[in-house]
Structure 1
Amino acid sequence: MARPHHHAYLWLGHGDILVRPGDAHRRPAHPEFRSAQVMPLECADWLLKPASRIEATFHEPEEGADWYAEQIALHAGLFAGSYAPDPAPEETVRALSAGADRVGGWWVTGGRFLSVSLIACSPHRARPDYACPLR
């Protein structure tokens, strides 16, 4: 078994894609699931997407927390008005250290949705049968 780690995923796209029509394309059983650029409905299902969708892989929780906070900072200009999510690095480190996912999703300007995810791998708590996409 591979050493526990987290894969990083990012999706920024128009909100209409999330629900076009319905959300079947965001479920693994749908024929378009693997090629659909949109985020999956269940966080663990990122692990079923092609490995090319992985932005980064982190074995150390602190490194994953830094990436998560950096993504939010990079996209700060997209958050409407004075709203900006707090990346709470210490909470992210705690979650990753416990083998949990760290997932955030926000509606941003232009009717778009931003998804920033760190997904536990080898194993995933909810889906221990999912193989690492890098194998």
Structure 2
Amino acid sequence: MDTHWHAFSYTGHARPRDAEARDPESATPPIELDKWFRKPRSMMSGTFTDAAAAADWLERELTESPPPDGALPVRTHMRAARDALRRGSDAYVGYYTAHGRFLVRTLLACPRGNLRCPAPPRR
């Protein structure tokens, strides 16, 4: 199976407590990236077979809920994310938004080790 990326989204009032993050049934970001695959499917925002399309999704998501003034700007997050995606790696962004919400957007490269692909891309 060729490299593809699964997009995951979370926006909440605050960073979840560790117990919530460890609970596979809790719709909160996990502590370990690989654990996203065990979280509720409702957190999955899509599957991308093209790194550029994955980056475009991430940029749209971040632009809609930007960080506050004085924090790392979206363009800085995107520079790192595009580089990671070009290399076939994960891209992870998490911050408090300008409106005080806790935002996490993740693109996980797949396949990854022994983990079963949660949503194989359609050809």
Shared fold, TM over 0.5: yes
Superposed CA deviations along residues 86-135 of structure 1, whole A, max 9, x for unmatched, are 25655433312322110011012454211011111112xxxx11111126
> Would the aligned equivalents of 2:4 and 2:109 in 1 still touch at CA under 8 Å?
yes
Any idea what SS the aligned residue of 2:119 has? coil
- Alignment match of 1:99 (pick from 79, 88, 102): 88
Measured in 2, the distance between the counterparts of 1:63 and 1:24 equals 34
Measured in 2, the distance between the counterparts of 1:110 and 1:85 equals 15
Gaps in structure 2 of 5+ consecutive residues: none
Aligned twin of 1:24: 19
More divergent stretch after superposition (99-108 vs 109-118): 109-118
Count of residue pairs the alignment pairs up: 119
TM-score by length of 1: 0.75
Superposed CA deviations along residues 55-95 of structure 1, whole A, max 9, x for unmatched, are 0111110001111111111112xx32354332565543331
Compute the displacement of 1:46 (Å).
Answer: 0.7
Does residue 13 (structure 1) correspond to residue 12 (structure 2)? The answer is yes
Aligned-residue identity in percent: 28
Any idea what SS the aligned residue of 1:18 has? coil
Computing the radius of gyration over CA atoms, which structure comes out larger, 1 or 2?
1
Measured in 1, the distance between the counterparts of 2:40 and 2:2 equals 20
- Equivalent residues in 2 for 1:67-106, closer than 5 Å: 67-76=57-66, 79-81=67-69, 83=71, 84-86=73-75, 89=78, 91-106=80-95
Q: CA RMSD in A?
A: 2.2
Any idea what SS the aligned residue of 1:7 has? strand
- Alignment match of 1:129 (pick from 108, 114, 123): 114
Measured in 2, the distance between the counterparts of 1:80 and 1:90 equals 18
